[in-house]
Structure 1
């Protein structure tokens, strides 16, 4: 989060977190992944407030080639995708409001963290 906040400040955007840690997958949701990074506290869903205004999922989906109408949002998403070695923008799997740190792609590490949190 510290790196994301730094990128947001540098680029002039404000991150509006709409979802973070979840105890279980969202029922009936197409993002109902077996190993969701949300379920171990390693993902957020967000909207952005850029210099041109508010940008939700529908707006963020227009930034996949980083030529959207708001240069501050272009800047932020480029940093997430190309500068940070671990952060992963959900545009790659049609979820433009999602950012995670890829921990959910390592099954053994995911299971270890999930087991630790199961007692919460």
Structure 2
């Protein structure tokens, strides 16, 4: 008799990882609905990464709105557009890792996310 426990556990972690990349609402569903009772190493890894990525994106948007309301400038808008594009690229890199079921850190923030949120 073959035990499918590890396969199911791996698939649960992969599902949590993928759903966590689908907006902040997806993160909340992945954490509270899928991960809280059945923690997996892969799920925890990607939940930590996406949480920090969403926090950075949120802060970037707030700073952008404040700066552009004080001093509207095409140059400033271009800089923030480039930073937003970088956030999007990091999100894609993380999502690809989640789809592949790997624990590949997102460049620039992955290592920091793992140390900032060890209890997730």
The structure having more radius of gyration, on CA atoms, is 2
Asked if Structure 1 and Structure 2 have the same fold, meaning a TM-score greater than 0.5 normalized by the shorter chain, the answer is no
Which is richer in helix? 2
Which is richer in strand? 1
The higher-RCO structure (CA 8 Å, 6+ apart) is 2
TM value normalised by structure 2: 0.29
TM value normalised by structure 1: 0.29
